[in-house]
Amino acid sequence: MFSGSIPALVTPFLNGGVDKKAFAALVERQIAGGSRALVPVGTTGETSTLSTEEHKNVVTLCVEVAAGRVPVIAGAGSNSTEEAIDLVAHAKAAGADAALVVCPYYNKPNQEGLYAHFKAINDAVALPVFLYNVPGRTIVDLMPQTVAALAGLPNVIGIKDASDEMERVVLHNQLIKPGTQFIQLSGEDSSALAHRAMGGAGCISVTANVMPEACAAMHAAFDKGDLEVARAINQKLVLLHRAMFASPSPGPAKYALSRLGLCREDVRLPITPPDKAARAQIDEALALAGASA
């Protein structure tokens, strides 16, 4: 149910608010392009600068537009456990299939605190949860031993790992109780294929915003055992993966989508649009990848 290419959707803006029409069109494009699930209001969706009302409205809209055609994994993280529980509860009420819950940022909890945070969410809401480990943004690192302990909870079904340490896929498998179904998704486009080779199930992707068909095709080729095709697609996308972080995300993704005529490039402060040099890098990567609307 949760595998392959899964876009971390941008949240398009218009006149300072959420552009619902553009967002709905992006969802339709992702489904038509072969994406296997959708992640609204994650990091790429600028959740940190959406109001709570906007956050919840985007989740609801995503579920409504998807209409059961693909699963929706709703971003629902916060550095406040109480707020995270509220967001997960809303995701369930809205009809999302799972929630993506990031490690608490800024607070710098230890492993005991991280376990207690996720357990409180598990105990409060009966909705499947993906842990989200991204040490570069949260400072804290959800260690494999803690992941293994959390995998024993009934509602924790997997992890999006953006540590970019490939060996963690194997470490998690070694530490998690045999027979436990635990889905490992990459959070790094540039190493997504390597993550699959180590035992991962897919990637929650930034690049898929721009080229959903190519990202989906790479994972499909891997699933069929056609590594030559998967490698060729990955080679085609590698510069675009890098360009998506030529300036703070999701600025590059939104600029690329604006170049394709799919949404405005507007971002919310403190994120600013890509500068001239970053735009040139993104334009070149788009051309080399053969991106089109």
Question: How would you write the pLDDT of the chain (293 residues) with one tens digit per residue?
Answer: 899 999 999 999 999 999 999 999 999 999 999 999 999 999 999 999 999 999 999 999 999 999 999 999 999 999 999 999 999 999 999 999 999 999 999 999 999 999 999 999 999 999 999 999 999 999 999 999 999 999 999 999 999 999 989 999 999 999 999 999 999 999 999 999 999 999 999 999 999 999 999 999 999 999 999 999 999 999 999 999 999 999 999 999 999 999 999 999 999 999 999 999 999 999 999 999 999 87
Q: Please say if 115 is a catalytic residue.
A: no
231: three-class secondary structure by DSSP: helix
Residue of 30, 14, 34 lying closest to 22 (CA atoms):
14
What is the pTM assigned to this prediction?
0.97
Helix H or strand E segment including 129: strand 129-133
Structural contact between residues 35 and 69, judged by C-beta atoms closer than 8 angstroms: no
Residues whose CB is less than 8 angstroms from the CB of residue 130 and which lie 6 or more positions away in sequence, other chains included: 2, 73, 98, 99, 100, 101, 157, 158, 159, 160, 183, 185
Q: Please say if 132 is a catalytic residue.
A: yes
Task: Please tell me which residue in 56, 92, 115, 160 is annotated as part of the active site.
Answer: 160
Determine the pLDDT at residue 156.
98
Determine the pLDDT at residue 182.
98
DSSP code, position 139? S
Task: Please tell me which residue in 56, 92, 115, 132 is annotated as part of the active site.
Answer: 132
Structural contact between residues 264 and 16, judged by C-beta atoms closer than 8 angstroms: no
Residues recorded for the chain: 293
Note the helical H segments in the chain. Answer: 20-32, 52-66, 81-94, 111-124, 135-138, 144-150, 167-175, 192-198, 212-223, 227-243, 251-259, 276-289
Residue of 27, 15, 113, 102 lying closest to 64 (CA atoms):
27
Q: Which amino acid is at 273?
A: P
Determine the pLDDT at residue 164.
85
Helix H or strand E segment including 186: strand 183-186
